[in-house]
Amino acid sequence: MAEISDQPVHAAVDAQEVSAVGELSQSRLTWMRFRRNKLALIGGIGLIIMYIVIALGPFLAGNDRQYQNEDYLFGPATQITFTGPDGRFGLRPYIYQVTTRLDPEEFKFVFDIDRETKTPLEFFVRGDGYKLLGFIKGNVHLVGAEGDQRIYPLGADALGRDVFARLLSGGQVSLTIGLVGVALTILLGSFMGTVSGYFGGLADDVIQRVVELIMSFPTVPLWAALAAAMPPISGSFSTLDRYFLITVILSLVNWTGLSRQLRAKVMAYRESDFVMAALAAGASDLRIIFVHMMPNASSHIIVVAALSIPGMILGETALSFLGLGILPPAVSWGSMLTDAQHIPVVLEHPWLMTPGIAVIIAVLFYSFLGDALRDAADPYSI
């Protein structure tokens, strides 16, 4: 057998042109295209800000989320003015003194604002204690007032709790549940889809029938049934446990979509020439799946994952709204919305709807991200 010679067989090399973009891998190319999408930028930056804000939640809010202020039931948002006690407009913010009294005629609480008495706002004041991210202890808050006046940027709810503080705290649940759920979706969906598509036969038939069974259940009732079947909060079953079980329930339905799509992709790749080449070289099934197919499917998986996060957020919101998801003392945007069910209540106290706005914004941002990813993914792939 002849040895490979030093001389190239062809002198055709000189006139060859190879495009410089060829040095970049698929991931880099995708990222470059993604970056150029304006909506993606809005969505991405918006989400980053949201996540930072909810992480710093207890620091940013003036009150502990559980603190019930009996004097401020359904209290409105605190008004801030920049006109000092001397009447001059300045840079320092002030709040008014607010007193609550019971109106005997309408039998409602009325909040009198004393526009003469102004208390300046201070930054970095000491207030209620908290644990940031669950383990950093502190009691400094970003904004506060002298004395025992409390600030309610978004008003208070039926039990006198700071809506803003609860919003930030609830965000910790609503915004992370999607991420955990999606991780489970990816794992389960990829595995099932790949096994189904690659091996075919009986495994494929069984898995597909299971998928179809799950998909034909009405989603919300299924979630509701599973959630209702969970044990009550007790010593052995904490809120955290409940939280994780909720994510499992949410992903239980979600993985089916991904598995079907991946099955189709794997079936297509199975017939493609580059997989045949690997087979011809003697590659094992495992190698073909993980080294050759998965990297090609990865962009697809990421896009599907990104686009299913909004669904998860909405799912958790729905469950908690129905009282089946996150239970007190934990709070999520959905559970906050249970207070906003009745129209008269909402008309009187519209700030109770803010969790809904938060959900909409989060879902929008994730949708922007997902759409942009989908458009950017795989400029040169199959």
Partner 1 sequence: MGSQTDFADLSEDNVLLDVQGLKKYFPIRRGLFQKVVGHVKAVDGVNFFIRDGETLGLVGESGCGKTTTGRTILHLLSPTAGKVRFKDPEQGWMDIASMSRQELQPIRRNMQIIFQDPFMSLNPRMTVKRIVAEPLIINKIAAGQELIDRVAEILKVVGLRPEYMSRYPHAFSGGQRQRIGIARALALRPRLMICDEPVSALDVSIQAQVLNLLEELQEQFDLTYLFIAHDLSVVEHICDRVAVMYVGKLVEVASTEELYYNPKHPYTEALMAAVPKADPRQRDRPIKLPGEVASPSNPPSGCYFHPRCRYAKPICSQEEPALREVEKDHWVSCHFAEELSLRGVVVGPSV
Partner 2 sequence: MSDQVSVKAAGSGQNVQQPTRRDSILDVRGLYTYFYTDLGVARALNGVTYSIPREKVLGIVGESGCGKSVTALSIMQLVQPPGRIVKGEVVLHRQNGAGPTDDVVLTDLARHGVAMRHIRGAEIAMIFQEPMSSLNPLFTIGAQIMEAILLHQGVDEAEARDRAITSLDRVGMPSPKVVVDQYPHQISGGMRQRAMIALALSCAPSLLIADEPTTALDVTTEAQILDLMRTLQQDIGMSIMFITHDLGVIAQTADEVVIMYLGRVVEQAPVDPLFYDPLHPYTRALLRSIPRIGRGIKEKLQPIRGVVPNPYSRITGCPFSPRCDSFMTGVCNVNVPGVTYLDDGRAVRCFLYSDRVEENG
Q: Which does 382 bind (CB under 5 to 8 A by kind): partner 2, partner 1, none?
A: partner 1
CB of residue 263 to partner 2, shortest distance in Å: 24
- In angstroms, the CA 151 to CA 67 distance is 13
- In angstroms, the CA 68 to CA 216 distance is 44
- In angstroms, the CA 281 to CA 290 distance is 16
List the interface residues with partner 1, window 265-294 (CB under 8 A).
272-274, 276-283, 287, 292
CB of residue 9 to partner 2, shortest distance in Å: 12
Q: Which one among 2, 91, 343, 347 touches partner 1, defined by CB under 8 A?
A: 2
CA–chain centroid gap for 214, Å, is 24
Q: Which does 70 bind (CB under 5 to 8 A by kind): partner 2, partner 1, none?
A: none
CB of residue 181 to partner 2, shortest distance in Å: 35
List the interface residues with partner 1, window 7-26 (CB under 8 A).
8-10, 12-13, 16-26
Q: Which does 347 bind (CB under 5 to 8 A by kind): partner 1, partner 2, none?
A: none
Q: Which does 15 bind (CB under 5 to 8 A by kind): partner 1, partner 2, none?
A: partner 2
Question: Residue count at the site for partner 2 (CB under 8 A)?
Answer: 7
Contact 179, 366 (CB under 8 A): no
CB of residue 296 to partner 1, shortest distance in Å: 6
Q: Which does 116 bind (CB under 5 to 8 A by kind): partner 2, partner 1, none?
A: none
Q: Which two tokens stand for residue 174?
A: 């609503």
CA–chain centroid gap for 139, Å, is 27
| Cα–Cα nearest to 116, from 92, 97, 101 | 97
Binding mask 14-43 for partner 2 (x = CB under 8 A): xxxx-x------------------------
Give just the sign of the alpha carbon dihedral 203, 208, 214, 217.
negative
Task: Provide the total of helices (H) and of strands (E) in the chain, helices listed first.
Answer: 13, 4
CA–chain centroid gap for 77, Å, is 26
Q: Which two tokens stand for residue 380?
A: 């040169």
Q: Which residues bind partner 2 (CB under 8 A)?
A: 11-12, 14-17, 19
